[in-house]
Each structure stands twice: as structure tokens, then as C-alpha cells.
Chains A and B, each alone.
Chain A
């Protein structure tokens, strides 16, 4: 979707980067900051309890355009937000000698849960109206409180734990299950039970092994993935925010990539918003909901490479059988 402004905005690029981070006053190793990924990792910064992280920011604005344009009193603001906590903090950047804009913004630990977005906005006065947004940076930075490596792409958590006697009490009722998938949290998590089927987790971790071991490993992982993708899809399409005309908005976080990856298989040839609208209608009104399950299964199967793995497995069983008969 494209947006139009009722006033002139900056055409040139607005970009910014985090140049340094201090946590409670001591500098964070730069390996926790990734310019390429545009992500800062604040987990395991050397101390478990910390209160405030200060991000130092440098921005580059199209200075010439800004100077020649109709705008006055340009202000450059860094904005830190997190949807989960509804936190919003801003920090003002000032122009320094070399022409860039620099400033700092505080991230208070208590205001955030998982991952904050850091954006940059340029506002200015136009037609005597102050505070008009005239430019924003193309891509936000992420400040992740839960990871030690600054990577933008989030992976699904896989936790290996003893359901029967492990630390997580809520897993006890599932002690018979070899795995379960949980999608209520900020990041979907697959829990592998180390005590239900002895040796299964070890086989999953293995790399070579006998043909039978390989077969078991491939088929089980595919099965787990099938469960995970199905559960994630259902969670992703529940609780959608709607526009006033009833069109659902694309959800944030991990839900967005899940829907982007699966919707084209669930409802082929449809615009994402159209597909979301359709699915939301079926889910809330009930008609056509059961028909959808077939497509969801199909989409999850594609993601878990069920057909490919089965084909390989079948071939290997055939060759084992032939080898045995000779």
C-alpha cells in the first residue's frame, strides 16, 4: 500500500545507524551491534540485571534538499517503540559539524519485553504548522532484549527438556508427548521431550548413522515441522486488527513472515490483504472454515517438505529391502 502526503516531503534518503551502545554506563562490545542486520542484541551483556541502555545514533539527511525546500525548523527524532508493551520513547538528534545528525536515546529495561523497534523521523514546520513528518528512515533497527547475537531474522525457538521432571511444570500434563508446539508467546517454541521416547532427541541431533536412523530423523523432523507450521498459521490469523471497513491488517512480529510464507499456498493468486480478509470472514462467520483446513495442511506440508522427505525415505526403504533379499 502506498501513502500520499498532503504536503511536500523529502525525496532523498534518510538513513541512520547505531554507532555505540552503553548499558548502565559501560560500553557494549560492538559485536552486539550489527549494521548489516540493523539490530542490537542486549541479552547477556555481561550482567543480568541492568536498568538503562543508551543508544548513540547518527543519521544522514538529504541536507541540500532540506535547505532548499519549503520546510523550516527541521527536527530529527529517534523513536523507540514496542507494540507488546505500548512503550514509546523519543530522543532528539542535533546537527554536528560534519553535517550528520547525532544524538542518543534511552532504553529503559522496565518498559520493554522482547524487542523494540528504533525508527527515525524528520519533522518540520510547513505552512505555519509545526511537527509535520517530512521523512522517515526506510528501515527500522531492532533492539532485541532476548538475543545475544544481533540478527534481524528471528528463528523459532527449539527447547529440549524433560517434560516429566524438568523445570517447566506446565509441561507435566504432556509427559507422554514426544513434542509439543507453543505459539502463545512472543516467539513460537517447539518443546522436544527428552523423556517420552528414549533416544529420539539424540537421533534428531545425529548427523550420519544408519539408513534407518536417517529415515527416522527426517520423518520425525518433518512431522514436527508440520505441527509447528499448522499451529503457527492458526495463531497468526486469530486476533487480527481490522480497519474500519473490516479489512484485516497484517500482524507484526513472527506472524507476518508466517502469513507471507503460507498464504500463497493456502489461497493461491490472492493479494495478501484479500486473502486475509477472506480467511478472517470464514473464521469469524464460520462458513468455509472447514474447507480451509485442507489448504492449511497442504501449506504446512510444503513448508515441512513432507513429499520430498517421503520420497527419499521410500527410496531408501526400497534399496534396503533389495539389499536384504540379495
Chain B
């Protein structure tokens, strides 16, 4: 027997019967046994004798060997089709998927949501989940073959019908169809994850598969309770990124369904309400095998595809690690700031680094949670080679801070700028409404604040707050920082992000998640917070944010508390501002200054200078003396004589002085120094040139 290669008999037989539209009762009748016996086979309580297996093979019209091996499905002639959901009986119409409007169809949003979902579904918690984004532009024969496999021709009338409506979705659909007809080119964006759970579970009832493929707003996150999202909105970004609302999926399951794991394939299309051939259709459609069961007649269900089909659908998974590949057909960046393939590639890399730098950092205490890559191709040829997203290159200071924490390499107080300071920030978790009352403010959770110096002037002086799978919730600018604080970047880790154990960790995680709006972008008052927790929850969130600010102030330095002696009212009057800016208006008159000097030495050692002057507005003409001196490190500077002074623009030379007419704002002159007056050789000197008010006989 070679059963170890095949799947269990029961699920296999159940599926074959369904595919052949033979009921259990019918099989029992044809085999001449009771229906209970067939049922026992299917649920796995018993296996038929070889004689019955041969008869089953006969009934199914296949080789008896296939019944023994059970490595493939029989009757592969079940045609793949699109099943469009019929219109609602109540006449309701949806002109688009409401959840999709909650997001901008922006590549960065897609990268954020899809990658977060992959992170939340990490399977083996000792390894990072790998995500791989592949942009693939196809045209010509590549496109034709792909569309054929998709049965595009069957879809086209639905598209044309949907595009005919005068609704928001219809108009953009129309433009997309026209563009496809004109350019015969489309962009596929594939989002793969490996070491993730995959689309497990039954076809229609609760499970990951149904949550993603069949339902709206079903979060179904069960894997670790660390999950980032909780609204089930994220997946809709996949469809929102497709101009055609079309996404194909191929999943390798982490736990078998129908006894199998590899190549569970289905497609889903989101269109607005439409009528085709006088039939009204509600919205979504699915691509797969027609269901032969009585409960779901004709509905397209996922099928176990062969390798050739997944290759033709651009859904081939290079290795057998569990996870899912989503293929977004007609991908685009609605924000419009990534037009070319290279732009989109870079935007994906950037978005992944921005959103998930923390998950990609690993250390001794905990490894990296995520490994992300981006590749760009055109018609099967690599255009931009696989690029691994490197958190350190885009967020050096933040990554360094987190790495130091994970390596237990932080300090309580910094003695050099590169060090990472660490302190605790308390968060008190209010008890749940139905939980017993506790003394005090609630359970204390100690969040971790990390702070280090940064050179990044743009994103300085912020605290990146995260929880769960190191998911960034918000960037906070601490208030009341002491003036003149050195640029820093800080990370706040709360809940599971601390990588700590203890009851408080999960409590804090749940508490903070409850305080987040659907965008998961801040900790603030939410309905969930007030309806689940006892009074005081809102204040605890506010307290927490204040504690964060306080901890930052403590780590950047206690400078604010240092005051110098003396009454404040007097200090105010005795302030020396080194800028030398007077509060008076009379300074605004300004003075003539040297704007630039162009100087060179000639062979005799004399300096030749061309000097530009800037002059303030004045009613009188200027009489200025150009002065040349040699610069010295300390002491008096030796003056050198001019052997020649010539006017260039807007001035005249008289007796070694410059005469500049009133109202002139700029002037220039040229001068040559007299080497005989040089105290040292010109080559060894540094020359200073200034203009001062002529002193008449003062010299």
C-alpha cells in the first residue's frame, strides 16, 4: 500500500462523490450495502474492503489503482466557471463594496494591511513570516494566455454591464476596461506569504477561508491573540488595489482540509450590481469548480488545482511552506504618485520599511517576525531583482533602539549619543465590566520606552508607539520637551511588543486594541472602551500618554529643572543673546559689508582681489576705505598696503577710498596688494578684506 502519499479515504471519497454528483445513498444502493456503512467510510470510522474499492472505482469510472493511491481527484473534467451572486430578492442594490471605500487604494495602504494580515497569521512562531511582493507587467501572448485561463470572455459581459452604470465604481471600471483594450497590457501584483496559516477551514462556514473569500468584515484572527487588526477591513485593500476588483488566490494550508494542503485555488471578483441577459446580479462572483452539493448548487468553490493551472494563473508557489498567494489583477496605485513600475517597486519597499521596520528587526530576546522582499518583472523577465527590505537603511535610529532592547543592550542613562536608553512606562488596565472589581487603578502593565540619538532631522523627536506584532499605532510628539533638546527618536513597546510574559501583557494588549479606531492609528476614546471596561478606562489611556511624555523628558535630560540663581524678572533683563540682534529698529539701517571675495596670488607674491560689496539704503553717498589684513591666530592683525585699487561697478576710487553714490545697493572693486608691505610671503598668508568708513586724518 502506498497510502502514506495519498489522503485519508473518507474525505477523498466524500469529495469524489460530490464531484460526481452521486449521493451517499445512491452509492450504498449500487454497492448493495447500507447507507450507514458508506457514511462510516466518509467520516473515517471504517475503510471498505478491496472488493468494494474496486466497485467504487467502477462506479466513478476510474482506475482501481487511483482508489488505492488517492493522490488525485477523479473526473477532472469539472469545468472551472465564474459564479455570480444573484441579486437580492428584496431588490437591494450595492454599487460597490462599502468596506473598500474605507481605504484609499494606495499601494502603501495595501502593503500595510496585507503584510499585517500575514504577520497576524504567522504559523511557526520560531521563524519569521516571509512576504514577497511581485509586480509583474504582462502584455501580448502572456496576457492572452492569462486571460484565457481566467475565462475573461465569460466575465467581459459582466464587466461591460457593470461599467455601463453611472456610478463611481462604474466610471473607473470603464476607464480600466478601455485602457486594457487599448494597451493590451496589465499589471499583476502578487502578494505571497510563507510560514503563515494559509486559507484553512471549510468552504462556507467559519474559518480563515470563508473569512477572506466569502465574507465582509470578518476578522477571524485566531492564531495568536496578538493580532493587529480587529475589524476585518484590511483584506478589502486587495480588491481595492485591483482596477477590475479581481483577486485570485492560491493557498498552501497549514492544516489539511479535505485531507489536502497544497494548491487550494479560488478567485473572487467584486463588481457593482448589474444585469446581464436580463438576470440581475448582486455583486461578488467566484471562480472555481461548480459545487455539486444540494445546499450550494452551482456556487463556484475552491478547487485543488494542478501545477499547470497555477502556473498559467501566475499563482505558482516556489516551495511548500504554508501560506497564501494573492494575485491582484490590474493593480494600480490610486494615489497617483507611483506611475512607473520602478516607482511602484520603490514605493512598496518604502512602505514596507516604514510600516514594518520593527517586525524585521531581530535580536537575542526575540527574532525578527517578518522578512519582506519585492521583485518587479515584465513578461516573465526580471526588471528589478529581488530586493530585501532592510529596516536599518531607512530607519537606522529606530532599528538600533529596538535591536538594543532585543539584545538586552540598553542603558538606564546614556553616556554616548549612540547608546539606547530604556525606562518603564506604567499603564494601568481597568478591569472589564463583568470582571471583579480590583483595588486601585487596575492591573499595572509596564510598557518599555527606548530612546536614542538620531541624525534624521525630518522625523526627529517622536515616539513611535507599538503593540502586538510590533505594529505601529501612532507617532507621538512629546509635549513640553526642554528647549534645545538633542534630536532623538524613541520607541514605545506595549503589550506583546515588549516580548515579556505575564498576565498583564495580554490585558494591556486587549485594552489598547479596544482603544483604537478602525484605522488602528491612535489610542483614544472608543465606544468599545467604554462599553467593555469599567469607568476610568478613558483616563487611564490619557494617563498613559502623559506618562510616555514624562518618561521621554526624563531620558533626554533633566535640563528643564536647572535654573540659575536670581529673580526671574531680573534674569529677563540681563539676557545676553549671542546672535547680537538688537530689539531696536535703528539697527535696521545696516552697514556696508563685503559680500564676496575672489582672490589669487600672482608670481610676485601680490594678492589680486575682486570684491563685491553690499550696501544698505542710504541718503548720502558712501566714502569707504578698503582695508586688507593678514589673518593671525591671536593678537593684532598686520595691515597690508594696496599697490593698485580700481573701481569695477557703481563706485569711484579717490585717494585710496571708494566713493559710492547714494542709493546704490551693490558695488564692486578690484585691488592688488603691495608685496613689499607683506610681513610674510603672500603664499603663506590668509587675506582679510573689509571696508570701513574713511577715517580722514585719523590714521
Q: Are A and B a genuine interacting pair, yes or no?
A: yes
Q: How far is the CB of A31 from chain B (nearest CB, A)?
A: 3
**Contact status A3-B485, CB under 8 Å:** no
Of A20, A153, A218, A281, which one neighbours B578 at CB under 8 angstroms? A153
Q: How far is the CB of B597 from chain A (nearest CB, A)?
A: 5
**Contact status B687-A264, CB under 8 Å:** no
Chain A minimum-CB-distance residue to B417 = A19
**Contact status B569-A217, CB under 8 Å:** yes
Contacts of B486 in A (CB 8 A): 34-36
Of A1, A35, A241, which one neighbours B417 at CB under 8 angstroms? A35
A-B CB contact pairs (8 Å), 18 listed: A1-B689, A6-B600, A6-B683, A30-B415, A31-B413, A31-B556, A31-B558, A33-B417, A153-B578, A155-B576, A158-B574, A160-B565, A201-B567, A222-B573, A228-B574, A243-B636, A254-B576, A302-B584
Q: Is A247 an interface residue (CB 8 A)?
A: yes
Q: Is B607 an interface residue (CB 8 A)?
A: yes
**Contact status A27-B690, CB under 8 Å:** no
Q: Is A95 an interface residue (CB 8 A)?
A: no
Of B416, B568, B576, B688, which one neighbours A3 at CB under 8 angstroms? B688
**Contact status A247-B596, CB under 8 Å:** no
Q: Which of B249-257, B493-501, B585-593 contacts A (4 or more CB under 8 A)?
A: B585-593
For the complex, give the distance between the alpha carbons of A253 and B492 in Å.
Answer: 42
**Contact status B564-A155, CB under 8 Å:** yes
**Contact status A218-B577, CB under 8 Å:** no
Interface string of B346-370 (1 = CB under 8 A from A): 0000000000000000000000000
Q: Is A270 an interface residue (CB 8 A)?
A: yes
List the count of A-B residue pairs having beta carbons below 8 Å apart: 209
Q: Is B559 an interface residue (CB 8 A)?
A: yes
Please name the 9 residue pairs, one residue from A and one from B, whose CB atoms are nearest each other, closest first. A158-B566, A260-B580, A20-B416, A27-B415, A4-B599, A31-B557, A225-B573, A30-B414, A204-B567
Q: Which of B114-122, B141-149, B534-542, B627-635 contacts A (4 or more CB under 8 A)?
A: B627-635
Residues of A20-48 whose CB lies within 8 A of B: 20-22, 27-31, 33-37
For the complex, give the distance between the alpha carbons of A34 and B484 in Å.
Answer: 8
Of A244, A245, A261, which one neighbours B577 at CB under 8 angstroms? A261
Q: How far is the CB of A128 from chain B (nearest CB, A)?
A: 12
**Contact status A3-B687, CB under 8 Å:** yes
Q: Is B531 an interface residue (CB 8 A)?
A: no
Q: Is B562 an interface residue (CB 8 A)?
A: yes
Interface centre among A36, A83, A149, A254 (most CB of B within 10 A): A149
Residues of B303-341 whose CB lies within 8 A of A: none
Q: Is B637 an interface residue (CB 8 A)?
A: yes
Q: Is B431 an interface residue (CB 8 A)?
A: no
Chain A minimum-CB-distance residue to B587 = A264
**Contact status B594-A190, CB under 8 Å:** no
Contacts of A260 in B (CB 8 A): 580, 582
Q: Is A273 an interface residue (CB 8 A)?
A: yes
Query: With contacts A6-B687, A35-B453, A269-B586 known, what are 11 further pairs, Cβ within 8 A?
Result: A2-B688, A17-B417, A21-B415, A30-B417, A56-B416, A158-B564, A217-B567, A229-B574, A245-B639, A265-B586, A271-B692
Q: Is B570 an interface residue (CB 8 A)?
A: yes
Chain B minimum-CB-distance residue to A218 = B569
**Contact status B690-A273, CB under 8 Å:** yes
Q: Is B682 an interface residue (CB 8 A)?
A: yes
For the complex, give the distance between the alpha carbons of A152 and B578 in Å.
Answer: 9
**Contact status B636-A35, CB under 8 Å:** no
**Contact status B571-A155, CB under 8 Å:** yes
Q: Is A137 an interface residue (CB 8 A)?
A: no
Of B557, B575, B582, which one neighbours A265 at CB under 8 angstroms? B582
Of B417, B419, B570, B638, which one neighbours A204 at CB under 8 angstroms? B570
Q: How far is the CB of B681 from chain A (nearest CB, A)?
A: 9
Q: Is B686 an interface residue (CB 8 A)?
A: yes
**Contact status B416-A27, CB under 8 Å:** yes
**Contact status B576-A153, CB under 8 Å:** yes
**Contact status A273-B692, CB under 8 Å:** yes
For the complex, give the distance between the alpha carbons of A201 and B569 in Å.
Answer: 11
Residues of B615-656 whose CB lies within 8 A of A: 627, 629, 631, 634-639
Contact A277 B692, CB 8 Å, known A4-B609, A261-B580, A265-B586: yes
Of B570, B575, B582, B635, which one neighbours A190 at CB under 8 angstroms? B570
Interface string of A4-18 (1 = CB under 8 A from B): 111100000000010
Contacts of A27 in B (CB 8 A): 415-416
For the complex, give the distance between the alpha carbons of A309 and B689 in Å.
Answer: 44
Contacts of A221 in B (CB 8 A): 567, 569-570, 572-573
Q: How far is the CB of A279 from chain B (nearest CB, A)?
A: 13
Q: Is B699 an interface residue (CB 8 A)?
A: yes
Of A244, A257, A277, which one neighbours B637 at CB under 8 angstroms? A244
**Contact status B485-A36, CB under 8 Å:** yes
Interface centre among A36, A154, A221, A257 (most CB of B within 10 A): A221
**Contact status A156-B639, CB under 8 Å:** no
**Contact status B591-A271, CB under 8 Å:** yes
Contact A245 B699, CB 8 Å, known A36-B486, A303-B573: yes
Q: Is A224 an interface residue (CB 8 A)?
A: yes
Chain A minimum-CB-distance residue to B578 = A257
Q: Is A122 an interface residue (CB 8 A)?
A: no
Q: Is A215 an interface residue (CB 8 A)?
A: no
Contacts of A155 in B (CB 8 A): 564, 571, 574-576
Residues of B384-414 whose CB lies within 8 A of A: 413-414
**Contact status A224-B636, CB under 8 Å:** no
Contacts of B487 in A (CB 8 A): 35-36
For the complex, give the distance between the alpha carbons of A87 and B111 in Å.
Answer: 59
**Contact status B566-A160, CB under 8 Å:** yes
Interface string of A235-260 (1 = CB under 8 A from B): 00000011111110100001011101
Contacts of A304 in B (CB 8 A): 573
Interface string of B673-699 (1 = CB under 8 A from A): 000000000111111111011010011
Contact A245 B627, CB 8 Å, known A3-B686, A149-B559, A158-B565: yes
Q: Is B601 an interface residue (CB 8 A)?
A: yes
Interface centre among A56, A156, A217, A261 (most CB of B within 10 A): A261
**Contact status B695-A277, CB under 8 Å:** yes
For the complex, give the distance between the alpha carbons of A254 and B576 in Å.
Answer: 8
Residues of B6-44 whose CB lies within 8 A of A: none
Q: How far is the CB of A99 from chain B (nearest CB, A)?
A: 14
**Contact status A157-B688, CB under 8 Å:** no
Contacts of A35 in B (CB 8 A): 417, 453, 486-487
Interface centre among B413, B556, B570, B636 (most CB of A within 10 A): B570
For the complex, give the distance between the alpha carbons of A223 and B609 in Å.
Answer: 50
Q: Is A84 an interface residue (CB 8 A)?
A: no
Q: Is A192 an interface residue (CB 8 A)?
A: yes
**Contact status B586-A264, CB under 8 Å:** yes
For the complex, give the distance between the alpha carbons of A155 and B457 in Å.
Answer: 28
**Contact status A30-B573, CB under 8 Å:** no
Contacts of A56 in B (CB 8 A): 416
For the complex, give the distance between the alpha carbons of A35 and B556 in Å.
Answer: 12
Chain A minimum-CB-distance residue to B595 = A2
Q: Is B583 an interface residue (CB 8 A)?
A: yes
For the complex, give the distance between the alpha carbons of A267 and B134 in Å.
Answer: 72
Contact A30 B419, CB 8 Å, known A156-B576, A221-B567, A271-B592: yes
For the complex, give the distance between the alpha carbons of A56 and B416 in Å.
Answer: 9
**Contact status B416-A4, CB under 8 Å:** no
For the complex, give the distance between the alpha carbons of A265 and B587 in Å.
Answer: 8
For the complex, give the distance between the alpha carbons of A281 and B591 in Å.
Answer: 20
Contacts of A151 in B (CB 8 A): 484
Q: How far is the CB of A147 from chain B (nearest CB, A)?
A: 9
Q: Is A205 an interface residue (CB 8 A)?
A: yes
**Contact status B415-A271, CB under 8 Å:** no
Contacts of B562 in A (CB 8 A): 148-149
Contacts of B573 in A (CB 8 A): 221-222, 224-225, 303-305
